[in-house]
Amino acid sequence: MDEEAYQKLKVLFSDVSLSQKEEEHFRSLWSIKKYNQYDLITEAGSTERYFYVVLTGVQAIYVLNEKGEKVVLGFSYSGSPSGAFDSFMLQKPSDTFLEALKPSEMLAINLQDYLSLFQKYPDFYIWGNNFFQTILFGRLSREVELLTLSAEQRYKAFMQRCPDELKVIPQKYLASYLNMKPETFSRLRSSVMY
């Protein structure tokens, strides 16, 4: 992995202090995976093999409803973690799909190496606690927004906090994530200032 990729990785793990020798070991555990636009990275029914850190691209995690339509649960993008975390940690078949919405390059670590980090380096417990708190509180906040805000309020809130790279993905994915019809999303996109 080149230095730029490693710096992105270090940002995600900024709570972790490692010696130079430990850093070399940490760095050696990651491999680079590349995906084309619309590649399925993880398919529902398969077990997630990796914890990812996104270098470039955008991915959507979703389930299929009873009509076979994609219901988007979230996105990952440059600098963020990615993967079907429950499937990865429990090594059980995933209920979700992970799809590359843009060509993507990701750093990947397998479960054995991931767990070894917690065994070798106590700072990873601090990182893990912070990481899963962020995931949990983000999910709770999203549920509150979905249940209490109007479509326009959800649109404005999302557009104010989302990174630019999410603003250019296909609007059907954004509409699904915001729990609105694509026509509603399109109307809001053309009429609402955020």
pLDDT score of 66: 94
Q: 106 in a domain, yes or no?
A: yes
Q: 194 in a domain, yes or no?
A: yes
* Residue-range definition of the domain harbouring residue 158: 149-194
Q: Which residues contact 73 (CB under 8 A, 6 or more apart)?
A: 61, 62, 63, 96, 177
Q: 144 in a domain, yes or no?
A: no
Q: Return the bridge partners of 72, or none.
A: 62
Residues 71 and 163 in one domain: no
Coil vs helix vs strand at 46: coil
> Of 90, 107, 134, which residue is a domain's last?
134
CA gap 124, 90 in Å, rounded: 18
- Residue 14 DSSP label: T
Helix, strand, coil % in the chain, rounded to nearest 5: 50, 25, 30
Residues 111 and 175 in one domain: no
Q: 23 in a domain, yes or no?
A: yes
0.85 cut: is pTM over it? yes
Higher pLDDT, 78 or 167: 78
pLDDT score of 194: 56
Range 81-88 average pLDDT = 96
Residue 102 near residue 136 (C-beta atoms within 8 A): no
